[in-house]
Amino acid sequence: MRLWQKMCICSLSFFLLAFWIAGILMIENNKNTAFEQALRQSADEQTGISSGILRYVMLNRAKESRIEGARDKDYITEYLDSRINSRGIYLEIRDEDQIMYSNLDETLPAAGAGREGGSGVAEYRIQESGSRQYLILTNQIPLRNRNLTNTYIRDISGIYSDRKNQYSYFLKLCAVISVIMAGGMYFMIRHLTKTLRVLTESVKKIGKGNYKERVRIHARDEVAELAGSYNEMADAVERTILELENKAKEQQRFLDNFTHELRTPLTSVIGYADLLRSAPGGEEQTQELADRIFREGKRIEKLSRFMMDLVFLERHSFELIPCDLRTIMMEAAGRFEAAAFETELKCTMPDSDAVILGERELLLILISNLLDNAQKASEHGDSIYLRSHTGESSVILEVEDEGKGIPEEDKARVFERFYMADKVRNRKNSGIGLGLSICADIVKIHKAGIVLESKEGKGTLVKIIFPCYKQDTN
């Protein structure tokens, strides 16, 4: 059973239950009110009749100078015949077993029958006779030497007939209202649950691969909040899927490039070795082929070293400790100057200590790779600048060259593995396109930022922005 059907059935059932209870209570209250009114009127009328009989009998006795009640029956009959003319009211006056007056017929209940009841007004009995109901009241008329029993009977069938009619009308009204309520609730709940159906359709679309699907609901209720949370979840799913797809593409590109990069020097080594083996050339040619084999072998060695660095960065966690960036820069600059002959390195150090949280060996690799890339981009006689300075909450390391720069379309991809903007130039300099990728991984480990600024023909500036280390003085 669907949610809207459950809501319709539950709401309609609750309404009908409340409506039935309210209707029954109202009808019964109307009946009880009418009965109490009839009982009060009957009790007052019976009391008035008893008092009238007593006065009339005593008055006539006095006129005729009688003490005994020989003619009491005549007095009572005379008094009641002149006064009891109401339809539906019956009296029976008894003196023990003798009936002194009665206008009851054979269809009326016996005076002593019926179920007893009581209220604050009088003691009473209700007796059914055929399809009619009668209210029976009994009291005593005290004469001098005896008590007469006054039985008052009133037809109250109208009260029960009205209740029956009210129940009949109530059932018809309940049926009509049920149909109206069912129809109204159907359309109302279908409208209210429309957003849930929209949400369900969106979930199905995302399940089929449409990760850009979003729910657009213009409301301020709980369903709109659910839709907002769903859209946030869909955004997170789309980002995760996109990241996984990009990572898968990057891994595939990495494998393709790695295979290509490994095949190229191996092919060269095999070719040169075959020439060296089969060619009858002299010592000079042999030396040249051997040099080429050596260079390609070194390229394979460099590739394997970079690969080991990447694996090392991905599979290890590092403990970052306070380091003085100036000391690390001086050591990296010393290593670079010892190996670089065609370019001039110019270093600018901060005046004060530049302390950051870092791993010393990784920082040396970072600076060395940046300097190595700057040298490969530079011509003979160009300068390379290694600088650092401190800001309010950061320490900035800069490496700048005067080389050819990077084309605008290549800037976004320079940190990808095996990507080389100038493949011919980089192969000439034994480049394999992993240096900046390793730099980006090291920067990420240090929770730093990296910014690349370059204009084609005017050189490149790489900024590494480290968060400042603040020593806890507590």
Gap between the Cα atoms of 313 and 441, Å rounded: 7
324 shares a domain with 263: no
Q: How many residues does the chain have?
A: 474
Cα 83 from chain centroid?
Answer: 80
Q: Are residues 266 and 335 in the same domain?
A: no
Q: Read off the pLDDT band of 302 (50, 70, 90).
A: low
- Does 440 fall in a domain? yes
Angle of helix 194-207 versus helix 222-278 axis, rounded to 10: 10
Question: Which residues constitute the domain of residue 155?
Answer: 3-177
Report yes or no on 12 lying in a domain: yes
Model pLDDT, residue 428: 47
Note whether 127 and 256 are same-domain residues: no
Q: What is the CATH number of the domain that holds 70?
A: 3.30.450.20
Same structural domain, 337 and 459: yes
Does 467 or 214 have the greater pLDDT score?
467
- Domain tally for the chain? 3
Residues 290 and 409 placed together within one structural domain of the fold:
no
Higher pLDDT, 18 or 66: 18
Which range (135-149, 359-373, 393-407, 418-432) has the least confidence?
Answer: 418-432
Residues 329 and 311 grouped into a single domain: no
Furthest C-alpha separation in the chain: 181
463 shares its domain with 396: yes
- Tell me, yes or no, whether 78 and 129 share the same domain: yes
Q: For residue 457, what is the domain's CATH number?
A: 3.30.565.10
Q: Is residue 192 part of a domain?
A: no
Indicate whether 440 and 363 sit together in one domain. yes
Answer whether residue 186 is part of any domain.
no
**How far apart are the C-alpha atoms of 105 and 110, rounded to whole Å?**
10
**Count of CB atoms situated within 10 Å of the CB of 38:** 16
Quick one: average pLDDT of 51-62? 86
The SS3 assignment for 302 reads: helix
Q: Any idea what DSSP says for residue 468? A: B
Q: Are residues 370 and 308 in the same domain?
A: no
In a domain, 448, yes or no: yes
What mean pLDDT is predicted for residues 288-302? 68
Cα distances (Å, whole numbers) of residue 300 to 261, 274, 423: 9, 18, 17
**Residues forming beta bridges with residue 129, ordered by sequence position:** 132
Last residue within a domain, chosen from 316, 331, 347: 316
* pLDDT(120) > 80: no
* Strand extents, DSSP E, 156-286: none
Give dist(CA 214, CA 210) in Å, integer. Answer: 10
Asked whether residue 191 is domain-assigned, the answer is no
How much is the pTM? 0.46
Residue 206 lies in a domain: no
Residue 199, domain member (yes or no): no
Whole-Å CA distances, 215 to 193, 205, 238, 369: 14, 11, 14, 48
Are 299 and 332 members of one domain?
Answer: no
Looking at the fold, whether 251 and 394 belong to one and the same domain comes out as: no
Confidence of residue 176 (pLDDT cuts 50, 70, 90): very high
